């Protein structure tokens, strides 16, 4: 089993809709969590950290469920510009592990 | 504020040739990472440095790959000899804090390597 797993998608979602996707991690010793966004042929960029209590940044909400070992990202009122690949990142000890990403297509 | 700077942006070379990728981290960042990205394998960590010292090179595929960080503002990743299966996008990233916990990564634009 991979240490960090994501549904590769693609998720095809109409503009304005709400979309959510999860990322599961296998090692309970994982210590910190992030979501990165990567546009086609570009570098990954930090979208948001994920805190234990859950956190929100505008239309984006990230949550952590340690008991079930997953993190989630919810995007409300999706925009065309949200189309990208969303990478889940898990830190454990001295390791930074990236998921392979979930592709999101927002449809006009 | 300059970000992480990588060069070249694109490299096309023939099998067997030596390839050198370069990276300048963000000033003041203590950690530097080299990643490789392919469709099949996603982002793979090759090696990372803290304060110019290699900490974990377990991701380096084989002896053909080597990385150096002679000072805080420069790192190289060298492949010698290159093979077609090395074709990928190579990213350099830096982070502010030593160690990896809690400090987000800032990526360069990447070097797209094609080995024919």
Query: Which residue is closest to A2 within chain B, CA to CA?
Result: B41
- Which comes out higher in pLDDT, residue B62 or B5? B5
Contact B45 A87 (CB under 8 A): no
pLDDT of the residue at A29? 85
Cα distance from B52 to chain A (closest Cα, Å)? 16
φ, ψ of residue A81 in degrees (nearest 5): -70, -10
Does A95 have pLDDT greater than 80?
A: no
Q: Cβ distance A12 to A19 under 8 Å?
A: no
Burial class of residue B115 in the structure, from the number of CB atoms within 10 Å of its CB (0-12 exposed, 13-18 middle, 19+ buried): buried
Q: Which residue has the tokens 């065309």?
A: A80
pLDDT of the residue at B1? 62
pLDDT of the residue at B99? 54
pLDDT of the residue at A53? 87
For residue range B69-100, what is the model confidence (pLDDT) as tens digits? 999 999 999 999 999 999 999 999 999 876 55
- State what percent of residues in chain B have pLDDT above 70: 95
Q: Which residues of A touch B48 (CB under 8 A)?
A: 96
Cis geometry, peptide bond prior to residue B8 (ω within 30 degrees of 0): yes
Closest CA to A32 of A97, A78, A91, A104: A91
Bridge-based pairing of strands B111-115 and B10-13 is parallel
- B94's CB contacts (< 8 A; 6+ apart) are B4, B25, B26, B29, B31, B32, B33, B105, B106
For residue range A54-68, what is the model confidence (pLDDT) as tens digits? 899 999 999 999 999
Contact B100 A91 (CB under 8 A): yes
- Dihedral of alpha carbons B54, B57, B60, B65, sign: positive
């Amino acid at each position: 089993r991979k240490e960090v797993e994501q549904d590769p998608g693609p998720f095809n979602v109409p503009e304005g809709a709400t979309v959510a996707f999860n990322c599961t991690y296998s090692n309970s010793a994982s210590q910190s969590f992030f979501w990165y966004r990567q546009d086609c042929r570009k570098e990954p960029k930090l979208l948001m950290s994920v805190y234990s209590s859950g956190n929100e940044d505008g239309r984006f909400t990230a949550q952590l469920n340690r008991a079930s070992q997953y993190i989630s990202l919810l995007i409300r009122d999706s925009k065309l510009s949200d189309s990208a690949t969303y990478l889940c990142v898990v830190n454990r000890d001295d390791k930074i592990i990236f998921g392979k990403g979930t592709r999101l297509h927002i449809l006009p | 504020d300059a970000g992480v700077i990588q060069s070249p942006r694109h490299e096309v070379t023939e099998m067997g040739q030596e390839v050198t990728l370069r990276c300048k981290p963000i000033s003041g960042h203590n950690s530097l990472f080299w990643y490789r990205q392919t469709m099949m394998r996603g982002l793979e960590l090759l090696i990372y440095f803290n304060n110019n010292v290699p900490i974990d090179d377990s991701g380096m595929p084989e002896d053909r790959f080597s990385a150096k960080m002679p000072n805080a503002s420069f790192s190289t990743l060298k492949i010698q000899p290159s093979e077609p299966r090395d074709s990928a996008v190579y990213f350099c990233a830096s982070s502010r804090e030593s160690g990896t916990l809690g400090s987000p990564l800032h990526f360069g634009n990447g070097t797209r390597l094609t080995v024919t």
